Structures are given as C-alpha cells and as structure tokens.
Amino acid sequence: MALKREAFKHENEVRLLVCLQGYREIENIWDISVVGFSINPNTFIKLVTFDPRSDEWFVDTMKKYCHSKGLKCPIEKSTLYERNFYEETKIVRQYEVVTETDKTK
C-alpha cells in the first residue's frame, strides 16, 4: 500500500515500490515521470517492520528472503498492539474518570 494514514504521518517513512522483473518493458500508460537510480539497500534501509497483524509464517518467510538477498538491517514485526508497547516506548497514556456530574458541567 502506498497511501499513508494521517495518524501515522509522524513516522516520516518512505515507501518504495520496486518492480525488478521486466521493468524496462513496463508501459507508462499514465505518462508519469519516472526516476531511476541505483542504491545499496544496506546503506539506505535502516529497518524493516511488518504490520503487527501479519501472520508469523509470513514474517519468518520475509526475514529469510531478505537475508537471502543480503539485507543486513533488523527485520521485525511491529509491537504496536502489544500490551507493553506504551511501557517500552515511554509514550504516556493517561485515563481520567468521568462522572455524571462532570458531564453536566
């Protein structure tokens, strides 16, 4: 997915879509400017994080694939929905009790 939800804009992430097979033969039907460049993934990619809802078999398969291609960065599944996420990241989460009298003010 190339779209980024507003709630996650603070991540400042870059999404890169790559097509390695037959990229020279792809027809540009929308006449969009295309930029080609060479990069070393090990100097460009700092971390690969998978959706926290991803199945373990998928994450394990992708880890093996990335390692087989020489990628050396950490590869992990997001802990966003885990119970200890707030303690690990030091993000403050605070709840306040609201009573019926508070609602009428």
The model's pLDDT over 9-55, given as tens digits with 9 standing for 90+, comes to 777 777 666 666 666 666 767 777 767 777 888 998 888 999 989 99
User: The tokens of 2 are what?
Assistant: 């190339």
Which helix or strand (DSSP H or E) is residue 61 part of? Answer: helix 56-68
Is the pTM value of this prediction over 0.75? Answer: no
Cα–Cα nearest to 15, from 42, 45, 35: 45
- Quick one: average pLDDT of 58-76? 94
List the domain boundaries for the chain: 6-103
Residue 1 has pLDDT above 60, yes or no: no
State residue 82's pLDDT score: 73
